[in-house]
A = this chain, B = another copy of it.
Amino acid sequence: MQAQSVPGLNLMPWPSNVQPASGALKIDSGFTVAFTGYKEGRLDRAGQRFLSVLQKQTGLLISNQPGDPGKAKLVVHTDHASKEIQEFGEDESYTLEVTSTGAKLDAASPLGVLRGLQTFLQLVDVSPDGFAAPAVMVKDSPRFGWRGLLIDSSRHFTPMDVLKRNLDGMEVVKMNVFHWHISDNQGFRAESKKLPKLHSLGSGGAYYSQAEIRDLISYARDRGIRVVPEFDMPGHSSSWFVGYPEVASTPGPFKIEETWGVMDPAMDPTNEKTYKFLDTFIGEMAKLFPDHYFHIGGDEVNGKAWDANPKIQEFKKAHNYKTNDELQTYFSQRVQKLVNKHGKATVGWDEIFVPGAPKDIVIHSWRGPKSLAAAAQQGYQGILSNGYYIDLMWSAARHYAVDPLSGDASSLTPDQQKLVLGGEATMWSEYVNWENIDNRIWPRTAAIAERYWSAQSVTDVNSMYARLEVISQRLEWVGLTHCSQPRKMLQRLAGPATPEEFAALKTLADVLEPVKNYTRGETAPYTAITTTPLNRVVDAVPPESDVARRFDDKVSAFLGGSCRDAVIAASLRVQLTKWRDNDAALQSLAAKSWFVKEVGPSSQDLSAVAGIGLAALDAIAKDTPLSDDSKTQAAAAIAAASKGKAQVLLIPAPTIQKLVDAAANGGACSAKP
């Protein structure tokens, strides 16, 4: 069944097959779970974790003693072991049957058990009789085998506990690849014992010890998640050169970068020292990270460092390389051989997809689905991240609409489509730290996770948002802070606000979103991203405003219903009146707080556009079209209010334009039947 046809089940990602049945399994303190079949420590720990989350999400005192298979409410059967090192494409399928007397979860391997336990947890909800899981038959398996989240721990260091809670979140939505972007210009974050100046001089002290890395990998494995490290080269590597300038193309000296953007420094692809260095380095890291895949980055080399080095120019001439791209191809192929030598397969960004590249590499597309399709047509495996850049502050719906097999990829043959392994949401960290990273990643990434797991036909946006709101709350039970921390951040910047003033700030903040795409980096007052405090309103508001989205839905329903629904009209009036009258208390707080003052103009805008919206509703109610003058003035005010100020956008403004259009349309609204 499709998600949209089963409103009561808040499952995300939506399973391949769901058959609701009648009745429900009551969940009380007597609930027990038993494991049969293949056993291993990871399953015991999964059972404990499952019970711990169930206790939290119900508040029930459920024993964490293993149950008796003959009596347990949930019996989990595992057929056999999974691979010792988790591999791409392993079986993650499971079946879960819930009846009013008990539940059965069956899976081929522990990976399917992990997925099925999360489905069970999502089924449990409050009912008129307490907690219950509705009777249902689920048969489930993923569409794509590579369902990833990239976290950039270079631009801002990500503390271990933050990484772990995000792995917990990934487990909830059945993601299976943690792509760890662990080095970049702004910091080299992995301890190297063989080349210790990498972390000691390249990290400013903020790096992961090898013990911590091993701990994280085992934490991820427990959750059915592979860890793919990325060491970006030959560009994005300033931090490497602080300790090892001898492998750079220019003499240096180098420093850990603090700003945003593409940097010039790059490794010297013509120097044999570079390959000796990388042989040592890749050899060490290939042992530390057990996954079969090793990501070498390869993106955004601007070539300036190569152009500036006469020896490199000579090398190009000698090898008859016309372009720096050709030179990078030479570098990539040398590095790919090293990766192979140490037993791994290479993943790299679009840039490594060049004529003659070896067929065992995986193309990670940041540029677009086109290159992914082109690669597949030539027999290359690929992963899509273009469209899943969660740092760009797009809506969940916009990411949800991107499919790894849409666009150019939709015309691939079935065999070529198999080369598209999946996708990865990417959390680039220019403007995220321990405090707001959760709300940048969640809940939107849950919608992306559904895109990777569920059938291509699961596309109903209303159903997605309805389920996303529930899953979002659930994600806080595993320790994520995407709902609770933004409120604390608002309280902090509000300082000594009265309750009324804070309520006004909350009302305003609830309809603001950070500016989109790279606007902030391009227009930021601070250029040094790594030392910019992230304590402003733009940092505290989530990427997507639920209040504004619901308002837009309501306006659409109103206009779609020919503006005749009195209940909706009244509800729009209540909302618009609240917004119109919100500014006084907000400005009173703005006089006390620098941070609130910054959004004072947005508050005035909200007040103004809400007034315009009310006037439009009046015009519609009276069946009197707005005058051309009023329409023009309103459009100008709305356009001005729609512009980013203090790096935030006032989201309801364009929605209110829809009301104005309807009001101006000579009664077009009421003319409809």
A residues contacting B by CB (< 8 A) are: 8, 10, 29, 57-61, 125-130, 435, 469-470, 473, 476-477, 484, 487-489, 491-496, 499, 531-535, 539, 546, 550, 591-595, 597
Contact = CB atoms under 8 A, between A and B. Distances in A.
13 contacts: A8-B496, A10-B496, A59-B533, A61-B531, A126-B495, A126-B593, A126-B594, A127-B593, A128-B597, A129-B594, A473-B491, A484-B488, A499-B550
Contacts of A130: 594-595
Given A58-B535, A60-B535, A129-B594, 15 more contacts: A8-B496, A29-B531, A58-B533, A59-B435, A59-B492, A59-B535, A61-B533, A125-B496, A126-B493, A127-B593, A128-B594, A128-B597, A469-B499, A473-B488, A473-B491
With a 10 A CB-CB cut-off, give which of A8, A128, A476, A492 has the most chain B CB atoms.
A492
Nearest to A7: B496
Contacts of A129: 594
Contacts of A550: 499
A126 B489 contact: no
Contacts of A29: 531, 533
Nearest to A497: B126
A29 B530 CA distance: 12
A539 B60 CA distance: 13
A205 to B, nearest CB: 10
B476 A592 contact: no
B60 A126 contact: no
Contacts of A125: 495-496
A122 B154 CA distance: 33
B60 A533 contact: yes
Contacts of A476: 488
Nearest to A591: B128
A493 B499 CA distance: 26
With a 10 A CB-CB cut-off, give which of A126, A488, A489 has the most chain B CB atoms.
A126
A472 to B, nearest CB: 10
Given A496-B10, A499-B550, A126 B595 contact: yes
A470 B488 contact: no
Contacts of A532: 61
Contacts of A591: 128
B57 A492 contact: yes
Nearest to A546: B499
Contacts of A127: 495, 592-594
Contacts of A533: 29, 58-61
A496 B470 contact: yes
A533 B63 CA distance: 12
A470 B495 CA distance: 8
B492 A592 contact: no
A179 B590 CA distance: 44
Contacts of A499: 469, 546, 550
A128 B592 contact: yes
A535 B477 CA distance: 14
A550 B533 CA distance: 35
B494 A126 contact: yes
A66 to B, nearest CB: 15
Contacts of A597: 128
Nearest to A596: B126
Contact of A534 (B59, B470, B496, B595): B59
B594 A59 contact: no
